[in-house]
Amino acid sequence: MSDSYIRSFLGEKEKILLETRQHWFILFASILFEIVIILILAGGATALVMFVGPLFSLAYALLLVPIISMIKDILIFLNRKFIITNRRVIEITGVFNKNVTDSSLEKVNDVKMVQTFLGRIFNYGDIQILTASELGANQFRYIHDPIKFKTAMLNAKERLPMDEALNFQEAVEKSIPELINELDQLRKKGIVTEEEFQQKKKELLAKM
């Protein structure tokens, strides 16, 4: 999945803090059956060619079925991502048709993490995000390094009020020069006196 696609739906001043996928166990479990079938078919086709004749080399074409299925599973795994930004948590799935589900950090009420014994050994687990939205909860299963994911999400939620305050301050600072310019235009038209202009300008600059 290209970074340009991910960044295409990010908001202004929204930045990615963490990207992760499901644990590689999920990929291995998905393609294990295909690998076994490929080995069986390859062995069978080779035996036919060796002991019966080269005409049976066409049996190798049967390998295309499990190979295509395996490629499909790999693409599904690679195109499923879990992303934390400074504003929300995003899940992206789909190879060609993309499905994007996100939960705003400000609506996150609680985060539940479940790790089995094997999950603790191999560092995977489930993350459930409880929100105040109509969806109620989002669950990310078999996510890689769930502790890091949960910590990053909670830290981002904790910093959210500070980020909003900084964004508001930046917006105010950007608007002050525009206000001063508008006052200057009024001064040039004689609507505002020089003394009034200087006084208002001084007050606005003090807010920056």
CA 22 – CA 28 distance, rounded (Å): 11
Q: What's the pLDDT tens digit per position in 88-129? A: 999 999 988 988 888 888 888 888 999 999 999 999 999 998
Q: Which residue in the block uniquely carries the two structure tokens 């295509």?
A: 68
Q: What is the pLDDT of residue 74?
A: 96
The mean of the pLDDT values for the chain is 83
> Do the strands 81-85 and 88-93 form a parallel or antiparallel pair, or are they unpaired?
antiparallel
One-letter amino acid for residue 154 of the chain: L
CA 187 – CA 170 distance, rounded (Å): 26
CA 73 – CA 100 distance, rounded (Å): 19
| Confidence band, pLDDT 50/70/90 cuts, at residue 77 | very high
- The predicted model scores a pTM of 0.70
| Confidence band, pLDDT 50/70/90 cuts, at residue 208 | low
DSSP sequence for the chain? --HHHHHHTPPTT--EEEEE-B-HHHHHHHHHHHHHHHHHHHHHHHHHHHHT-GGGGGGGGGGHHHHHHHHHHHHHHHT-EEEEESSEEEEEE-SSS-EEEEEEGGGEEEEEEE--HHHHHHTEEEEEEEESSTT-EEEEEEEESHHHHHHHHHHHHHHHHHHHHHHHHHHHHHHHHHHHHHHHHHHHTTSS-HHHHHHHHHHHHHT-
Q: How far is CA 57 from CA 48, 51, 61, 66, 133, in A?
A: 8, 11, 8, 17, 58
Q: What's the pLDDT tens digit per position in 135-188? A: 556 889 999 999 999 999 988 888 876 665 555 455 555 566 776 777 777 778
Burial class (CB in 10 A: 0-12, 13-18, 19+), 191: exposed
Task: Judge whether residue 133 has pLDDT over 90.
Answer: no
Domain range annotation of the chain: 162-206
Beginning with the edge strand found earlier in the chain, give each strand of the sheet holding 137-144 in spatial order.
108-114, 124-131, 137-144
One-letter amino acid for residue 71 of the chain: I
